[in-house]
Each structure stands twice: as structure tokens, then as C-alpha cells.
Amino acid sequence: MEALVHTVNALRAVAPSGAWRHRVRRVLVILTGSRSGSSVFKACLAQHPDIAALDGELEPLLALTGNGFGHHPDCASDAIGPLRNLDALADNIFDGLTCAPATAVPALAPAPELQARWRRRLLLQFPALYAASHEWAAVQQTLAGALAALGPHQAAAPLAAQHAILQRVHAPARWRLHYYDGGLDSEAARPFAEAGKIEEPPFVLPSLTRRRYTADDAADKVLLFKTPADAYRPGLHRQLFPAAEVQYLHLTRGYAASVNGLLDGWLSPTGFFAHDMARAGVALAIGGYSERCGFGRRWWKFDLPPNWRQFIDAPLSEVCLNQWLSCHGHILASGVRAERVQFEAFAAAPAATLAALWPRL
């Protein structure tokens, strides 16, 4: 896996910008559990003109820089202590940050920027496939053609344009479209079986209209992060941005909705493959999962709590309930001051919830 990560880093060729991390003045972290509605909540927050955010989560960038479970020998779960390769991690973060466009009328980002954004994201999603030079050359050519075919009017319907790009990129193996949200292919889904995993499916769709973050944004923009595993990592963002004020939002959601979402995700053939436990020498025997799914002895889904070993042979319902309890329990036990937001209130009145929240940040 280390050799594959090295190849992916070389192909991504991210420019050095890690020194910017000392200029960042404000960071906002959403602390929550898996399946708590944090993706849609973060997407809405990221539309604010003062916010800069990643298209996805921090997890694949941690993997690229030798951090996290399966990549750092000291990480026995999703908890992370001292980070390694801070500047390299910051390079990847700044490369992936985008900001809402300043204009009211949406427009496509410049073509070279879109090409770089999409090719770097595809390398995270299919690292073993595109590490082969002939595959990588072919997909870059296909991607360039798909982006060149976009018209200015498609900025008003970016999701349809993103889907059109994926349809062309994955035309040789359409079943890979099932690794994205949206039902992009009518064929039966195949279980996730990529030879290497860096980004966890469902995969991210890179933005077509947001602008790239620059050094001038460091002092003005609020950097927004959302990863459920951050519940186990108090202080991580202070390591990355030592001069910044780090604020926290604690997004809660009722256990029934969250746990039901976890149960569905564990049984999904195409999504939420977080940790390959075979690399840790562990065979899972989770009741209602390991014997039902062909991948069920190998793949741990969603966040990996520090007490995960106590649940490798538990019923799936107990595994999911423990994930919900562990995330929120660690957030509360960390002692960080966090503004509490109920997902149910946000879902009922998103505009009013965000309008009331922003002045308190």
C-alpha cells in the first residue's frame, strides 16, 4: 500500500503551499457521528461567501501523508495523536479547498483548474487502476474531452454536468458508476472490489463552479471541515493551523435515524468501505453482516472507535449503536466548547437554522 500511495502522490503532483497553514486565522469543525446528516449540513454551510471547504473529507489526505489507521503504526483506531508530515498534509488540504464564487450567476471554473481538480480526485477514488501508466494516460484524455464538451449554460445545472463527465470517464466499466450517489447506471451493482482504497465510497463529485482557494484567502476565509472520525481527534486542527481560532459545531441526530442509516450502510454493496481489516490481520465475525456479505469479514464500515475490538464478533445492531454512542460520547468527553445544532431542526428549517447560527460563530 505504501508503494501505491507513493505513486498516487507523484501523479497528483500537488504544489507546495503548506506554509499557508500559519496564516490561517479561523477554522470551523463539525463534530458528529456517521449518518448524522453532516454532509448536507456542511454543503449548505459551504455556500457562505466567507467559507472555504474541501469537496470531501480529510480522510484520504491523511492516508496520502502517512496518517491514520492502516497508515501509521501508532494509530490503533480512528483516533490520531501527533500528526506526521504536517506541511505535506497542508499542501493537500490547500490544493483541495474551494470557495463559493463571488458572482451571483454561476460560471464554470477555468478549464485547467477543473482538469487538475478532477484528475486528482479520480486518483483518490481508483488508485490501483490509475497507477498503471496506460490507464492513467487514457483517462486523462477522456477527462479532457468531457470537460471540453461542457458549455457555459451547464454551470446552472452542475450535477447533470458532473454525471455526464462520469458517464464518459467510466464508459469502459460502467459498474464503477455505482460507487457514486445518484443511480447513474441501471445495471445491477457490483460489490466494491477495487485493489486499493484511499477515498471511501460513495465517492465525491468535484465541484465545477467553486473557485480555488489562494494564499490571499488564508487570513479572511473560515476553513470548514467535516469528518465523523474527528470525534476521536481533539486538537488535530490546532496542530495543522497553530495560529487559528478553532471553533466547533456539535451536530446531533436522534439515535434511531442514525443507527438505521448505519445499518443500511453496513449492508450496502457499494458504499462506506472505510477500513480493510485484513491489513490489520483481523477477520470480522459481525452477526448479520459478516455471514451475509461477501466482503463482510474484511471491511469495517464508517468510523472506527477506539473500542472496536470489543465488537468484531458482536451483532451488527450493537456495532452500529456503539458507533453512534462512541462518536457523541467522545465529543462530550473531550471538553471542547461546541455550539450544539440538531439535525432535525436544520432539516425542518435550514435557512432559519443557519441564519441563527452564523452570528454565534
Alpha carbons within 13 A on the beta-carbon side of 214: 6
Q: What is the pLDDT of residues 274-292, one digit of tens each?
A: 999 998 999 999 999 999 9
Q: Which of 251, 253, 254, 261 is nearest to 317 (CA)?
A: 261
> H helices of the chain, where?
2-12, 38-45, 59-64, 86-96, 111-125, 127-130, 133-148, 158-169, 236-240, 255-267, 316-334, 343-348, 350-357
| pLDDT tens sequence across 170-179 | 999 999 999 9
Q: How large is the angle between the packed helices 2-12 and 111-125, nearest 10 degrees? A: 170
Q: Cell numbers 465475525 label which residue?
A: 285
The pLDDT score that the predictor gives to residue 189 is: 79
35, 265 contact by CB (below 8 A) = yes
Q: What angle do CA 249, 254, 258 make, to 5 degrees?
A: 90
Residue 252 to residues 106, 218, 257, 307: CA-CA distances in angstroms?
A: 32, 29, 11, 21
Per-residue pLDDT at 221 exceeds 80: yes
> What is the pLDDT at residue 183?
65
Task: Give me the mean pLDDT over the 118-134 stretch.
Answer: 95
Confidence class for position 104, pLDDT limits 50, 70, 90: confident
Task: Return the pLDDT at 185.
Answer: 66
pLDDT at 133: 86
CB 142 within 8 A of CB 169: yes
Task: Give the pLDDT confidence score for residue 303 in this predicted structure.
Answer: 98
Output the pLDDT for position 361: 80
pLDDT at 124 over 70: yes
**pLDDT band at residue 186, thresholds of 50, 70 and 90?**
low
Looking at this protein, which amino acid is placed at residue 358?
W
Q: Look up residue 204 and give its DSSP letter.
A: P
* pTM of the predicted model as reported, rounded to 2 decimal places: 0.96
Higher local confidence (pLDDT), 76 or 105:
76
Confidence grade of residue 102 (pLDDT, cut at 50, 70, 90): confident
Q: How far apart are CA 23 and CA 5, in angstroms?
A: 28
Partners of 31 in the β-ladder: 250
Residue tagged 490509475 (cell numbers) = 130
How many CB atoms are closer than 10 A to CB 335? 8
105: cell is 450567476
Question: Which residues lie across from 180 on neighbouring strands?
Answer: 203
Q: What percent of the chain has pLDDT over 70?
A: 98
Mean pLDDT of the chain: 95
C-alpha distances out from residue 330 to 31, 59, 251, 302, 304, Å: 10, 19, 13, 16, 12
- Per-residue pLDDT reduced to its tens digit, 239-286: 999 999 999 999 999 999 999 999 999 999 999 999 999 989 999 999
- b/e code 144-176 from CB counts within 10 Å (16+ = b): eebbeebeeebbeebeebbbebbeebbeeeeeb
For residue 195, pLDDT beyond 80: yes
How does residue 105 score in pLDDT terms, banded at 50, 70 and 90? confident
Contact 303, 322 (CB under 8 A): no
Angle made by CA atoms 144, 149, 154, in degrees to the nearest 5:
120
Minimum mean pLDDT range among 157-161, 223-227, 326-330: 157-161
Amino acid identity, position 152: P
Q: What angle do CA 63, 198, 212 make, to 5 degrees?
A: 80
pLDDT number for residue 357: 93
